[in-house]
Amino acid sequence: MTTAPLSLEHIIRPSSLTDKKPPVLFMLHGYGSNEEDLFSFAPELPEDLCIIAVRAPYILQPYGYAWYAINFDAEKGKWSDDDQAIESREKIINFIDEACATYGLDDQNVNLLGFSQGTILSYAVALSYPEKIKNIIALSGYINEKILKDSYVENNFKNLNFYCSHGDMDQVIPVDWARKAPNFLKKLGIEHVYEEFPAGHGVAPQNFYSLKKWLADKI
């Protein structure tokens, strides 16, 4: 399948389905990475899924991409550019609509897989626009309430399902930040699974096996 010139750079693995519009999984990489990173999971995931790995819009030096800036300041410490993150949230939701229309995908079966900063954006997209998303795999990230739509609590979340996981030795994003997600989702009445693995800031083999099984059951 030829990659179309859409608003965000991406790579695509077509679905094996030919008789109907296929479900789609959008992959959102972490800070400093690129679309090739999570795409390495694609051969192990269900063949009926169309998989689209998206490149974040902000270029980092000397290499890599980001969904928003993370700055290190002597006074403020480490802080994130929430305005840029909100811009990326909107870019992602627009790209999802574009890609579904361009590639003939099932817009009622849109799924997200994020890692780290890509997970933070996946939470923001799904909780702000739950009518557009079905299943979310949230790896090694957390919920930043400041980048959700102001009126998100009024949304209907009945179609959302989350698989959340974190390494209990993560030194990039503390596991305590991730542990807030289950309560947050529970208060909104959202179906979710939360798991921890003996790992750092990455996806351990048993973590990958677990998310793969969860996704296969949901698609």
In a domain, 5, yes or no: no
- Provide the CATH number for the domain around residue 68: 3.40.50.1820
In a domain, 163, yes or no: yes
Q: Which of the four pLDDT bands, split at 50, 70 and 90, describes residue 76?
A: low
H helix intervals, the chain: 36-39, 82-103, 117-128, 175-178, 181-187, 205-218
Which helix (H) or strand (E) element contains residue 50? strand 50-54
Domain count, the chain: 1
In a domain, 93, yes or no: yes
In a domain, 2, yes or no: no
Full domain range(s) for residue 15: 10-218
Q: Which of the four pLDDT bands, split at 50, 70 and 90, describes residue 211?
A: very high
Give CA–CA dist 81/71, Å, rounded.
8
Give CA–CA dist 121/161, Å, rounded.
16
> What is the pTM for the complete model shown?
0.96
Give CA–CA dist 172/32, Å, rounded.
13
